[in-house]
Amino acid sequence: MSATDRARHLDVVVVGAGFGGLYALHRLRGLGLSVQVYEAGSGVGGTWYWNRYPGARCDVESLEYSYSFSPELEQEWAWSERYAPQPEILGYINHVADRFDLRRDIQFDTRVTAAAFDETAGRWRVTTDRGDDVSARFCVMATGCLSAVTTPDIEGLSSFRGNWYHTGQWPHGGVDFSGQRVGVVGTGSSGIQSIPVIARQASHLVVFQRTPNFSLPARNEPLTPDTQAEVKAGYRALRDKARSSFSAIAVAAPTELALEVDPAERRRRYEAAWARGGLMSMTTTFRDLIVDKAANDTAAEFIRSKIREIVVDPDVAQALTPTDHPFATKRPCLDTGYFETFNRDNVTLVDLRQTPITEIVPAGIRTTERVHELDTIVFATGFDAMTGPLLRIDIRGRGDRPLSDKWSAGPRTYLGIATAGFPNLFILTGPGSPSVLSNMVMAIEQHVDWIADCLSYLGANGLGTIEATVEAEDAWVDHVNQLASATLFPRANSWYMGANVPGKPRVFLPYVGGFPQYRSTCDDVAADGYRGFGLTADPAAEPA
């Protein structure tokens, strides 16, 4: 077989070269499989390639938000801060690509436009916007949960005289805001990270806020050599602890209920969590914060009191105070000086609940109150999360059925990794898996390892296809929904619920039963001969 034929008849196509696609390439290539990765961007990194906005950094601590599969890699890489900034994370991912010689199987600047399962051949036909047309036995969608940006459809945007940017597609050369009047639309994690940094550079910043958000202090700081040495000496134990923790982040599980302790003690605990900073400090203070509204109210009210303490103007503080959703039912943001930024003379908050945007005009953004004149607009308006990147590809399974048709009322998966009617298609950190509710790098590694074991099993047993059964999928979807409905999550209009995209079905997307429970279910399914999957023989396999 010529090199070209080999390229056209692959074992695996992987779509995406972020944390997920790179590890999939490394593991699957290690099984002796031919793997081709297609990546729409010009480089590796995924999230960290695209999201170059000022202030971008991780919100899971770097020593944990990193691959665990290679102890050597863990030891040789040094993180500079508790939460590494975007350029450093991108540098790390590039280092990984070089260290494991990954680039030679990645085709950049190439967007996969369609993937169709050929039932006769038992293979996927994958096509790209660059004219590639390849056949592969397996397809791994490493397209990311937060890679399909959403820019609001506001009338008049094309008439705007200045420049506009989306945080998730930031220009590589950066943007100099000096002397500019800047408008930021959106106050989720991306807005909350970028607003303090832009405010320090711009002549004037107008923040257009639709929904106030809960944000916690990051308390970012340099990582001292001593701290790093200490973590590195015990890295295996730390990773094991993370794997057995609810969010795949190494923290002790809370045992107490919020209303079990007296108000003074509760406040003391919240104060300590606020002082420590970080996502987990506050969310793991008590074990019932996400299931009991009265418990949640205590944490929410504490954060509201902090906003009132920090923000000098009481009207601005009021406008910044979240009241419409329980704490942590949207992903809490981590900030460095976010609320303090509204005490600056050059920052104005526009409360879109009072004065909605009506249109964009050449000079800026018009609300029902007035035109805010701007030189630059930054849309920190988020993503069509979890399903968006998949549904932007024309994926067709058995009977030429489009995935968009199958998922028209919301995604249906088995274990968040496979979907019935689409044999040999694997979704990394897909809907119905812990995914965005966990340390994503660990969730990615768990999925890739499971897929690698699965492909080894198929090979060792002369099997050609693996496909989720409808029964297993229905039971899994019910289970995922039941878990979610026992929490407060459905009470928020969040991207977890698909509520940020007009017309998107309202379904709670991730699995909320926790990483350890999920991992052990996946392991049991595999140990049980891939229970809930249909397996067929590979006609090309040698008879045993």
Asked if 14 interacts with ligand FAD (CB under 6 A), we say: no
H or E segment to which residue 270 belongs: helix 263-276
CA 262 – CA 241 distance, rounded (Å): 30
Rank residues 17 and 378 by Cβ distance to ligand FAD and give the closer one. 17
Number of neighbouring beta carbons within 10 Å of residue 20: 28
Give which of ligand NAP, ligand FAD, none residue 65 binds (C-beta under 5 to 8 Å, depending on kind): ligand FAD
Q: Residue 347 Cβ, how far from ligand FAD at the closest point, in Å? A: 22
DSSP class of residue 402 equals: B
Per-position x/- string for 157-196, each x denoting binding to ligand NAP as judged by CB under 6 A, each - no binding: ----------x-----------------xxxxxxx-x---
Q: Residue 172 CA to chain centroid, in angstroms?
A: 21
Per-position x/- string for 392-421, each x denoting binding to ligand FAD as judged by CB under 6 A, each - no binding: -x----------------------------
- Confirm if 152 and 380 have CB atoms less than 8 A apart: no
Measured CA distances, 38 to 106, 109, 373 (Å): 6, 8, 41
Q: Is 342 helix (H, G, I), strand (E, B) or coil?
A: coil
Q: How many alpha carbons lie under 13 Å from residue 172 in its C-beta half-sphere?
A: 5
Using CB under 6 A, pick the residue from 28, 97, 126, 146 that binds ligand FAD: 146
Asked if 59 interacts with ligand NAP (CB under 6 A), we say: yes
Asked if 210 interacts with ligand NAP (CB under 6 A), we say: yes
Q: Residue 427 Cβ, how far from ligand FAD at the closest point, in Å? A: 10
Rank residues 115 and 488 by Cβ distance to ligand FAD and give the closer one. 115
Give which of ligand NAP, ligand FAD, none residue 191 binds (C-beta under 5 to 8 Å, depending on kind): ligand NAP
CA 102 – CA 96 distance, rounded (Å): 8
Give which of ligand NAP, ligand FAD, none residue 188 binds (C-beta under 5 to 8 Å, depending on kind): ligand NAP
Asked if 300 interacts with ligand FAD (CB under 6 A), we say: no
- Confirm if 432 and 411 have CB atoms less than 8 A apart: yes
Closest CA to 425 of 136, 143, 145, 139: 139
Give which of ligand FAD, ligand NAP, none residue 325 binds (C-beta under 5 to 8 Å, depending on kind): none
Q: Which amino acid is at 13?
A: V
Give which of ligand FAD, ligand NAP, none residue 500 binds (C-beta under 5 to 8 Å, depending on kind): ligand NAP
- Confirm if 147 and 50 have CB atoms less than 8 A apart: yes
Asked if 500 interacts with ligand FAD (CB under 6 A), we say: no
Give which of ligand FAD, ligand NAP, none residue 33 binds (C-beta under 5 to 8 Å, depending on kind): none
Asked if 428 interacts with ligand FAD (CB under 6 A), we say: yes
Token pair of 470 as six digits: 């409808």
Asked if 492 interacts with ligand NAP (CB under 6 A), we say: no
Q: Which residue sits closest to ligand NAP, CB atoms considered?
A: 188
Give which of ligand FAD, ligand NAP, none residue 428 binds (C-beta under 5 to 8 Å, depending on kind): ligand FAD
CA 223 – CA 40 distance, rounded (Å): 34
Asked if 46 interacts with ligand FAD (CB under 6 A), we say: yes
Asked if 440 interacts with ligand FAD (CB under 6 A), we say: yes
Rank residues 105 and 351 by Cβ distance to ligand NAP and give the closer one. 351
Closest CA to 103 of 150, 43, 50: 43
Phi-psi region of 295 (alpha: psi -120 to 50; beta: other; left: phi over 0): alpha
CA 262 – CA 267 distance, rounded (Å): 9
Using CB under 6 A, pick the residue from 11, 13, 19, 525 that binds ligand FAD: 19
For the stretch 44-54, what's the b/e string if a residue is b when 16 or more beta carbons lie within 10 angstroms of its beta carbon? Answer: bbbbbbbbbbb
Using CB under 6 A, pick the residue from 68, 284, 336, 439 that binds ligand FAD: 439
Give which of ligand FAD, ligand NAP, none residue 214 binds (C-beta under 5 to 8 Å, depending on kind): none
Asked if 510 interacts with ligand FAD (CB under 6 A), we say: no
Give which of ligand FAD, ligand NAP, none residue 278 binds (C-beta under 5 to 8 Å, depending on kind): none
DSSP class of residue 436 equals: G
Using CB under 6 A, pick the residue from 68, 429, 433, 500 that binds ligand FAD: 429
Output phi, psi for 519, to 5 deg: -60, -40
For the stretch 133-148, what's the b/e string if a residue is b when 16 or more beta carbons lie within 10 angstroms of its beta carbon? Answer: ebebbbbbbbbbbbbb
CA 233 – CA 75 distance, rounded (Å): 9
CA 338 – CA 330 distance, rounded (Å): 17
- Confirm if 58 and 29 have CB atoms less than 8 A apart: no
Asked if 199 interacts with ligand NAP (CB under 6 A), we say: no
Asked if 533 interacts with ligand NAP (CB under 6 A), we say: no
Rank residues 16 and 416 by Cβ distance to ligand FAD and give the closer one. 16
Asked if 146 interacts with ligand NAP (CB under 6 A), we say: yes
Q: How many residues bind ligand NAP (CB under 6 A)?
A: 26
Rank residues 142 and 184 by Cβ distance to ligand FAD and give the closer one. 142
Q: What is the DSSP string of 71-130?
A: HHHHHH---SBSS-BHHHHHHHHHHHHHHTT-GGGEE-S--EEEEEEETTTTEEEEEETT
Q: Residue 240 Cβ, how far from ligand NAP at the closest point, in Å? A: 24
Q: How many residues bind ligand FAD (CB under 6 A)?
A: 36
CA 91 – CA 89 distance, rounded (Å): 5
Asked if 58 interacts with ligand FAD (CB under 6 A), we say: yes
Q: Which amino acid is at 369?
A: E
Closest CA to 328 of 373, 365, 297: 297
Residues of this chain, 181-200, that bind ligand FAD according to CB under 6 A: 190
CA 81 – CA 61 distance, rounded (Å): 9
Asked if 15 interacts with ligand FAD (CB under 6 A), we say: yes
Q: Which residues bind ligand FAD (CB under 6 A)?
A: 15-21, 38-41, 46-47, 49, 51, 56, 58-60, 65, 111-112, 142-147, 190, 389, 393, 428-429, 439-440, 444
Q: Which residues bind ligand NAP (CB under 6 A)?
A: 58-59, 146, 152, 167, 185-191, 193, 208, 210-211, 331, 334, 352, 380-383, 436, 495, 500
